[in-house]
């Protein structure tokens, strides 16, 4: 078996990385190795799985604490965390020791519900789709219940099954690893505790077959970039008596050419001509919901000034409320002047220079401070 890479190395972060740093690193790596961006690249697909597994562990405080103390061994027990993303969601750190020491700590408090594997996919949506919500078809290749045997794994439904000779019906086997006694799913029955006497010719006794299917994913209005949507029971089938796993949809929101989002607020950069900013004007701007809004720009407006449009911002998740929209002014300097335009500007500068402090107070104040600075040096 290949040795797993350190989860921190997979995400390219240090072991003391904050949750914010972890999330940012995960997004970067997930986008880099996503199968849609690397079609046919098996190594990229494997890296994508490793990145998802690493982040799923490290973003959870309990799982991260277990990993920091025990490494990958903390997740190699026979529960739903074995080889996947489930970990110890039900019992937290207490179950870690139960998985490792078994009967040495008085036995387990009860068997976990066995489930099929979870499936992870990524969907990219536009900013406008994130604002209004959208239904996206997602194509996944996963295991489903075998139709030939109805998931029993047996070619003859009357033949039934017998107790697994390897685990004697427990569904798990134990192995000594140094000081630890580690439980794993039985390699013979794969955790079922039973083996089929007459295996189905289609699924070869597994009770599941692999198939590509398309599911419609409801993405709610107000969703943020990096949101993970869980669809219970939409993951891989696990065979007879086993609940299907879950489907996790990672949502990526694409950048917009006009709007920039900050939580529930939206920013729109509006360039103005120098004359518009000096004399004042009225501009019409688009709103994320598809409507339009008129904004009055007062005379003497400077670059960087913001004008707020209340309630014209982004949707708030699970709420009818909306944030605000901010118009950010950027005053442009004229380029490629005609002869006449240059003459007019020269006349303007000559006249403004007579009352420089009034026409451009910030400019005058700055150079006054510069003059005082140099005089002080002298």
Residue 293 near residue 136 (C-beta atoms within 8 A): no
Residue 144 near residue 274 (C-beta atoms within 8 A): no
pLDDT tens for 242-269 read 778 888 999 999 999 999 999 999 999 9
Which pair of structure tokens corresponds to residue 65? Answer: 């604490």
Shared fold status for 116-160+197-252 and 259-373:
yes
Annotated binding site: 146, 149, 164, 167, 186, 189, 200, 203
Q: What CATH number was assigned to the domain covering residues 259-373?
A: 2.60.260.20
- Say whether 284 sits in a helix, a strand or coil: strand
Residues sharing a CB contact under 8 Å with residue 41, sequence separation 6 or more, in sequence order: 35
Any idea which of 87-91, 111-115, 153-157, 257-261 has the lowest mean pLDDT?
A: 87-91
pLDDT surpassing 60 at residue 105: no
Going by CATH, does the domain composed of 116-160+197-252 fall within 1.10.10.10? no
Q: What is the pTM of this model?
A: 0.55
Any idea which of 95-109, 173-187, 201-215 has the lowest mean pLDDT?
A: 95-109
Whether the CA torsion 229, 90, 99, 169 is positive or negative: it is: negative
Annotated binding site for Zn(2+): 146, 149, 164, 167, 186, 189, 200, 203
Residue 332 near residue 274 (C-beta atoms within 8 A): yes
Residue 265 near residue 271 (C-beta atoms within 8 A): no
DSSP string for 128-184: HHHHH-EEEEEEEEEEEE-TTTTTS-BSSTTT-EEE-TTTTTSSEEEEEETTEEEEE
Any idea which of 19-33, 318-332, 354-368 has the lowest mean pLDDT?
A: 354-368
Half-sphere exposure of 98 (CA within 13 A, CB side): 16
Provide the residue ranges of all domains of the chain, joining segments of one domain with +: 116-160+197-252, 259-373
Tell me whether residue 66 is exposed, middle or buried, using C-beta atoms within 10 angstroms of its C-beta: 0 to 12, 13 to 18, 19 or more.
Answer: buried
Which of these, 257, 82, 249, 92, lies nearest to 172 by C-alpha position? 82
Residue 313, φ and ψ in degrees, nearest 5: -90, -145
């Amino acid at each position: 078996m290949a040795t797993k890479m350190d989860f921190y190395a997979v995400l390219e972060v240090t072991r003391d990385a904050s949750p914010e740093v972890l999330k940012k690193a995960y997004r970067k790596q997930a986008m880099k190795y996503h199968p849609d961006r690397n079609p046919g690249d098996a190594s990229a697909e494997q890296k994508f799985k490793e990145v998802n597994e690493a982040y799923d562990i490290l973003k959870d405080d309990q799982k991260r604490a277990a990993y920091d103390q025990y490494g990958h061994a903390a997740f190699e027990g026979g529960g739903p965390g074995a080889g996947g993303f489930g970990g110890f969601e039900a019992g937290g750190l207490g179950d870690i020791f139960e998985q490792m020491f078994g009967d040495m700590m008085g036995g387990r408090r009860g068997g976990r519900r066995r489930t099929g594997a979870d499936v992870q996919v990524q969907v990219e949506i536009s900013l406008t789709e994130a604002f209004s919500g959208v239904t996206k078809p997602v194509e996944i290749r996963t295991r489903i219940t075998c139709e030939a045997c109805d998931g029993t794994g047996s070619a003859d439904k009357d033949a039934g099954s017998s107790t697994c000779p390897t685990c004697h019906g427990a569904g798990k086997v134990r192995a000594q690893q140094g000081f630890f006694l580690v439980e794993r799913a039985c390699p013979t029955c794969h955790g079922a505790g039973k083996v089929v006497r007459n295996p189905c010719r289609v699924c070869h006794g597994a009770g599941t077959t692999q198939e590509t299917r398309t599911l419609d994913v409801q993405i709610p209005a107000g969703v943020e970039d990096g949101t993970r949507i869980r669809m219970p029971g939409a993951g891989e089938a696990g065979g007879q008596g086993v609940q299907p796993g879950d489907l996790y949809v990672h949502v990526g929101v694409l950048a917009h050419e006009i709007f920039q989002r900050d939580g529930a607020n939206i920013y729109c950069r509006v360039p103005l001509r120098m004359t518009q900013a000096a004399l004042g004007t009225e501009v019409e701007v688009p709103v994320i919901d598809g409507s339009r809004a008129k904004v009055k720009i007062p005379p003497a407006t400077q670059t960087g000034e913001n004008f707020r449009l209340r309630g014209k911002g982004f949707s708030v998740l699970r709420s009818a409320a909306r944030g605000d929209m901010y118009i950010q002014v950027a005053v442009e300097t004229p380029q490629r002047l005609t002869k006449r335009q240059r003459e007019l500007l020269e006349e303007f500068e000559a006249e403004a220079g007579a009352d420089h402090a009034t026409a451009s107070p910030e400019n005058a104040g700055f150079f006054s401070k510069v003059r005082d600075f140099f005089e002080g040096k002298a």
